[in-house]
Every structure is written in C-alpha cells, then in structure tokens.
Chains A and B, each alone.
Chain A
Amino acid sequence: MDFTNLSIIRPPETSSTWLLKDRLGAVRVRFSLGRNRYRVDTGLYRLGRPGKDSEVFVTANYKLSFDLLRKNLDGLNAWILVLETHGINVWCAAGKGTFGSSELIRQVQDARLAELVSHRRLIVPQLGAPGVSAKQVKEATGFMVKFGPVRAGDIKAYLSAGYRKDQIARSVSFTFRDRFILTAVELANSVGYLFIAFVLMLLLSGIHSEGYSYELMWMEGLKAGLYLLAAYISGAFLAPLLLPLLPFRHFGGKGMLAGLGIFGLIALLTATEIPPLAMVGWFLVSGALSSYLTMNFTGASTYTSLSGVRKEMGIFVPVQLAFTISGLVLIIISKLV
C-alpha cells in the first residue's frame, strides 16, 4: 500500500531522530515533572518507508518508551504500534494488564495490520510478557507474538540473529547508571514531605526549659533542617546509588545503615554542639527516615517481588515507627532538661 499520494497521511509518520524537545522532555520526566501526561497518540506509526515485509514493533504510549524505541530503530523501515497504557511504560503497564493481550488485539484490528503487512509477526518487548499472552493474540488476530529483547538497544542484534537473543538481552539489569537516573524521581517525589518535616522540626526547635523562643526556633530549626536533608539525601540518593555495596539484603536495612552513617559523620564534625540525648534522638530519626525512603526505592528496582517487599515491610515499618517516635521524644526531652 502506498500512502504518499493520500492527502491525509495515515498512519502518521515518525522518525528515529530526537529533537531538542524530546531531549528536554526526557530529562524533565526523569525528575517526575508532568510524567503522567507525557504521552503519544495510540495506534500505528510509520518509521521510514515501511512496506509489506517490514517488522511491526509494539510499544506503550508513554512518550519516553516510544522515543527510546524509535531512536533505536535508526535506519530501519518499520511499523510502530502504540498501545493505550495511559502514559505508563511497558513493564509497569504489563504488570497492570493495560499493556495486555486485549489492548494489543484491539490495536492490531483497528490499524487493519493484516492488510498492511504480508507476514504475521509482532515484535513485543520482552517486559510486555507479564500482560501479553502470545497464544491469545495468535488466536484472535493470527499474528505471532515474538518477545524481543528487554532493551530497545538490543533490537538490531536480535533481528540480525534471526529473532534470537542471548541471556544478557533477556535479563534486566540494575546498573549504577540505571540507579543514578532513577534517584531523580525519588528525590523529587518526596520533597513535599521533607518540607513538612522541616516545618514541624522548626516549630519544635523553639521549645526550651523556660518556654518558647523564636530565636532558638531559627537557630536550632535550621540545624534540624540540615540533619533532615542529610537523611533525605542518604535514603533517596546515596543508599539507592550504593545499593549492592551496602550490607543487608533488605532495602530498609541498607537505607538505615546509610542514614546512621550520614548522621554519624555530622555528629563527628559537630560533636560538641549536639547534646547527647538529642544526638541519640537524631541517630534514630535519621536512620528511620533514610530506611523508609530507601524502602520505597523497591518500586524503582528491577528485581523485588511483592511477597519479598511485604516481608521486608513487616520488619522495617515497625522499626521505622519505633525509631521515629522514640527519637522525637528524646529530642524534645533534650530541649527541656
């Protein structure tokens, strides 16, 4: 089928080139800004000049997923079929079932793919497999789902190897670089809570044995803010980054250790300034806060399971609560004596 003479070009065209706005958009959503609205229209796209024999690649309508796919198909003529995943990436959407068999079947039929291509292959990212049953798709559409590599960067090697992938292309990793990129979202997502905690500590900081002092509130409150910030960076940035280097299996344990370590460093540098009771209190609060934040990084990681996270939370949530409450009590007592 030749589309070049049609006044309305359907399916729309796309290219493998990233424009400045694609680059800026990618950086922006990595900081969680407007991430849920970063979407492309669903349906079929043409990349280059695809024909009857060109491959069909399936992806999600999260713009970053779509962009990474088309960028890695540079130089190929291909069809790209975008599913409605409500702006969620392939893997997360597959877990929820939105990147799933029924949506794939619907899009294949809506695009009348069977009339556009002569082969019957759909290349679906491997991480779409938790939502896509190859058997169901085949029965409903006649198309055979081929689960491609995990990363779009391995697609060309996969094609030239005759739809085969090695163990590396089949496995998800979680490299230092991956973790570094993902911490931006962690840092951005909880920053509101950090601010609330800071305001609360600021208000508490004015308390002393003979009443309340605004001068003290600012003096001590800003120090408290610094300790909170350190624990925040420890839990949402340092511990995720150093994840495999930190001892303990549980994320909560790793985060707690990092939080204790960070506050230990602060205590060493400012030893004479912090009263002993407050110091113990801050150790507890810092450890708990950092532990909680790192525990939340389980959602960003590529290997934690629901049953594992439940087990971990059964241990660490009570510890975090106990540490926070007893830490705050100690800090308040230290102001009153």
Chain B
Amino acid sequence: MCLEVCPHNVFRMAGKQAAIVNRDKCMECGACELNCETGALKVKQGVGCASAVINGFLRGTEPNCDCGSDAACC
C-alpha cells in the first residue's frame, strides 16, 4: 500500500516487504503512515512551505498554510 500512495517513489518491494530506498525524496506528507496496515511507518507529517512556517512562528502554532480561511493560501 505504501508504494501505491507515495508520490515520490520512496519505497520498493524487497521480497514480501516494502523497503525505504529513497529517504531524501520524502516530503513528509504522511500518506504511507496513514495507509500502512501493519503500522510499520511513522512520519511527522507537515507541509514544506516557508509561508506556513512563518505563519506558525508569528502565531506560536504549528506551521499552518492558512488555507480554508479568508487569508491568502500558499
């Protein structure tokens, strides 16, 4: 399943198990963790967006894009 959902081909099948072969390509979207039936993966999910980091810093929250409100979205 993780091979199926990963947008950057981080995984390859090695025998019957999926292996991480492209760790640096990971963009931390978390799709693999959410859809891993055996719970073998752990990803700190987040958005790779500088504006979001700035927004979070200014408000003292986690990085947030502001999408879905009336403010501009990154």
Contact = CB atoms under 8 A, between A and B. Distances in A.
B9 to A, nearest CB: 6
Contacts of A95: 29-30, 45, 47
A306 B43 CA distance: 11
Contacts of B30: 95, 130
B42 interface: no
Contact of B50 (A93, A126, A303, A313): A313
B34 A130 contact: yes
Contact of B53 (A170, A172, A310): A310
Contacts of B65: 92, 96, 299
A298 B49 contact: yes
Q: Residue among A98, A130, A301 with the most chain B CB within 10 A? A: A130
A304 B48 contact: yes
Given A134-B35, A171-B9, A296-B50, A85 B45 contact: no
Given A95-B45, A296-B74, A307 B28 contact: yes
A167 interface: yes
Contacts of B8: 171-172, 303
A305 B31 CA distance: 13
B63 A306 contact: yes
Given A92-B67, A147-B4, A171-B7, A133 B48 contact: no
Contact of A85 (B7, B49, B68, B70): B68
B48 A170 contact: no
- Chain A: number of interface residues, binned into ranges: 35 or more
Interface in A286-337: 295-296, 298-310, 312-313
A125 to B, nearest CB: 11
A36 interface: yes
Contacts of A135: 35, 37
Nearest to B57: A313
A19 to B, nearest CB: 25
Nearest to B6: A170
A299 B74 contact: yes
Interface in B54-72: 63, 65, 67-70, 72
A104 to B, nearest CB: 12
B48 A298 contact: yes
A135 B36 CA distance: 9
A170 B27 CA distance: 15
B21 to A, nearest CB: 13
A133 B35 contact: yes
B73 interface: yes
Contacts of B45: 95, 130
B7 A307 contact: no
Nearest to B67: A88
Contact of A129 (B25, B34, B69): B34
Given A130-B30, A303-B27, A308-B48, A167 B4 contact: no
By Cβ-Cβ distance, the 7 closest A-B pairs, closest first, are: A306-B46, A304-B48, A299-B49, A299-B74, A129-B31, A129-B5, A86-B68
Interface of A: 32, 35-36, 85-88, 92-96, 98, 126-127, 129-135, 147, 150, 167, 170-172, 189, 251, 295-296, 298-310, 312-313
Interface of B: 1, 3-9, 25-31, 34-35, 37, 44-53, 63, 65, 67-70, 72-74
25 contacts: A87-B68, A88-B73, A93-B67, A93-B68, A95-B45, A98-B68, A126-B31, A127-B7, A129-B5, A133-B35, A167-B9, A170-B4, A170-B6, A296-B50, A299-B49, A299-B51, A299-B52, A303-B25, A303-B27, A305-B26, A306-B28, A306-B48, A307-B28, A307-B46, A309-B48
